Structure 1
Amino acid sequence: MSTRERIVETALTLFNQQGSGVVSTNHIAAACGISPGNLYYHFRNKEEIIRAIFHQLTRVGAEEYLAINAARPPETAAAVTAMLDTFVMVQRFNWRYRFFKRELTVLLHHDPLLAAEFAEVHRSHRQMVHDAIARSVGEGFIAPLADEELTLFVEELWLIILFWLNYLEVGGEEVNDATLARGNAVLMSALRPHLTAPAREALAAVKTKER
């Protein structure tokens, strides 16, 4: 691991533990076992470190999403399984970068560069959800939707995916397998009215197999 990578990983650990607001570049350098000058050789300030963490989470998140979804066969059972697997993957992934989720509004408010980058990624990811639903309509997994209905449905799903961890934490709940499974149930509750009969049958088969 390079010094730059070590700085990013150390900062991520400290931010998750303490919050980015109370962690200084000197704290990060000390935890890395390097001088502040060495840290500043790689990053001019803490904002640059946070942006580097954001770049990492964007890249790794896309890789993990594609690993689940890119090669799945066009079958309703596979579509159901991929959607459930994706939700759990995203939540576990978000937990790894939980400081960013917790502090999102403040971080974007204080760093216009980060805000611009996040807005672009946010639009891209929401489009991915839109495309996944449109693909599922084409495969007969989701019932056809009018354009306005599709937009609202995508926003509903995106809100659940994006903010489930925040919902748990503000309610004083732990993030664990049980609460992630409950998030999956909430997601499926939003999906179920839009499922076609073959998709409902496939979902029932998946649940039976899991028992």
Structure 2
Amino acid sequence: MNIWSKMITALRGGVNEAGEAIVDSQALRILDQEVRDAGEELKRSKDSLAEIMARQKLAEEKCKQLQKNIEEHEGYAAKALEKGDEKLALEVASRIAEFENGLASEQEASEGFAQSVTKLRAAIDQAEKNIKRLKQQVDTVKATENVQRAQAAVAERHSGSDSKMRTAMESLERIKERQALKDAQFKAADEMAKTSGDDSLKAKLEAAGITTNGPSAEDILARIKNKKAPE
């Protein structure tokens, strides 16, 4: 596989991943639409059932009318035979045959409609149960999604508060460190000021001929001698 083929494959993979991400993000909306679509299909099925039932009713009524026509014309044929008019009786019999053929056709259509009604009724009943069960599951999924969204929000806030707490503690430590440094600087400046003051005073005393040194060895020896001398 050359580089171009690999790039095309990578792009296709990216498109698929993007498509899956969109589907996942809109899963509940898609699910709701699919349930609505199923409901619309069910409605159309019920409309079809109503139409087939209407056709079955019409076929049954035609069968009743044809059966009535057959019985009525059989009476006509019988009366024609009673009068010895066989030709007329045969003509009526021919008409009866047409009615019977029509009756057979309408009965077949009626039976076909009846079978379709039975099958369609069963299919609609099953579809209604499936849609009802699906809606219940959708409600459960939505409730679970809401709970998980709330849990995620709580977890995010908790994580955010931990992060903010760590940031606050770090800021507090930096403030303490800065304050400690300032305090040390103030103490050092104070010590330097005191030392500088002592040196300045000593210099002034020495300039005035006043010694700031302690007693000399000679002074200490004289003091000792004076203590030992008898009074």
Place the TM-score, normalised by the shorter chain, in its bin: under 0.3
After TM superposition, the score normalised by the length of structure 2 is: 0.21
After TM superposition, the score normalised by the length of structure 1 is: 0.23
- Structure 1 or 2, whichever has the larger Rg, is 2
